[in-house]
Amino acid sequence: MNSRHRHLPLGLESTEHVLEVYEETVDRLPRLLQGVVETVTALVLSDRELTRHLSSEMSGISSKAQPSTTENDSRLRSKLHGNTITTTQTQQLQQQSGADSPPPSPSPSSERGSKACCFCWCCCCSCSCLTVRNGDENKSSKDSKLENINEKDDPPTLDEIKSWSDSFDKLMTCRGGRKSFREFLRSEYSEENMLFWLACEELKRHDNPEVVEEKARIIYEDYISILSPKEVSLDSRVREVINRNMVDPTPHTFDEAQLQIYTLMHRDSYPRFLNSQIYKSLLQQH
């Protein structure tokens, strides 16, 4: 009997102790979990800081080991954007970078590939390649076969001048008619419409893929890009068509846009031209 009484309190004390330990453990568990989370977070932040520090250190080492990298990158970007580096400039770059031999000239295929990278043709794009124009491109644009408004040519006859009022097509198929109409458009600050139409006609005369690609790019930069001061007015559907066509330009890349501008000149500018002093003066001179 005494042994049972002696063991019963011990059993009860042991059970109470277990319950106390359990309750204490349950109370401490949220704090333990929070501590684990804080520890893991601290480790992640430390790892990020270490990675950032290592990256900056590696960048510093790389810039010290290759001091001419910036110049080489600038030269490469210039080639990608179609900028021509003269022989003198190349020699200067070689002397500055300590190069012993001139860089290998890119193959035609690589040049085409580099030009293609400039076809960021979305209308909201602000890529610098849409505004940078080198001397050769300016020369190509100036020396193109677009009709010069100041170019001397045989004056149109009276019959030709009168026929311009018959239809817009007759006006546009006559060289003198196009020149007179272009002069009128210039007075109305809409000469870019005629320039764009003439550029599209010029593009159709070429079938060399490289020439077509280059001329299409210039047309886009001059008349389609929203960054251009000579941007023509086109609806969104036609712009989307042009953007798709510019992935692989052809002589007919701008056909829909050309037709839309032709229609705009026909309906909007042509009637005013027939009533303008420019056209009346031509009739009176004969």
Domain extent listing, the chain = 1-65, 70-105, 128-285
Supply the pLDDT for residue 126: 38
Supply the pLDDT for residue 27: 75
User: How many CB atoms neighbour CB 163 within 10 A?
Assistant: 16
| Interatomic CA distance for residues 49 and 138, integer angstroms | 50
- Contact by Cβ (8 Å): 134, 236: no
How far is Cα of residue 74 from the mean position of the Cα atoms in its chain? Answer: 18
| Interatomic CA distance for residues 269 and 187, integer angstroms | 11
Supply the pLDDT for residue 280: 96
Supply the pLDDT for residue 205: 97
Supply the pLDDT for residue 20: 73
Supply the pLDDT for residue 209: 96
| Interatomic CA distance for residues 56 and 64, integer angstroms | 12
**Is 128-285 in CATH node 1.20.1300.10?**
no
Contacts of 3 (CB under 8 A, 6+ apart): none
Supply the pLDDT for residue 135: 45
Supply the pLDDT for residue 52: 62
pLDDT averaged per 10 residues in sequence order, the chain, 286 residues: 48 64 74 66 58 60 48 48 46 51 44 42 41 43 50 82 97 97 97 98 97 98 97 97 97 98 98 97 90
| Interatomic CA distance for residues 129 and 243, integer angstroms | 16
Supply the pLDDT for residue 286: 72
- Contact by Cβ (8 Å): 170, 164: yes
Supply the pLDDT for residue 270: 98
Give pairs for 204-213: CB < 8 Å, separation 24+.
204/251, 204/252, 205/145, 205/251, 206/251, 207/251, 209/112, 210/108, 210/112, 212/249, 212/250, 212/251, 213/112, 213/115, 213/116, 213/249
Supply the pLDDT for residue 117: 39
- Contact by Cβ (8 Å): 241, 219: no
| Interatomic CA distance for residues 10 and 202, integer angstroms | 108
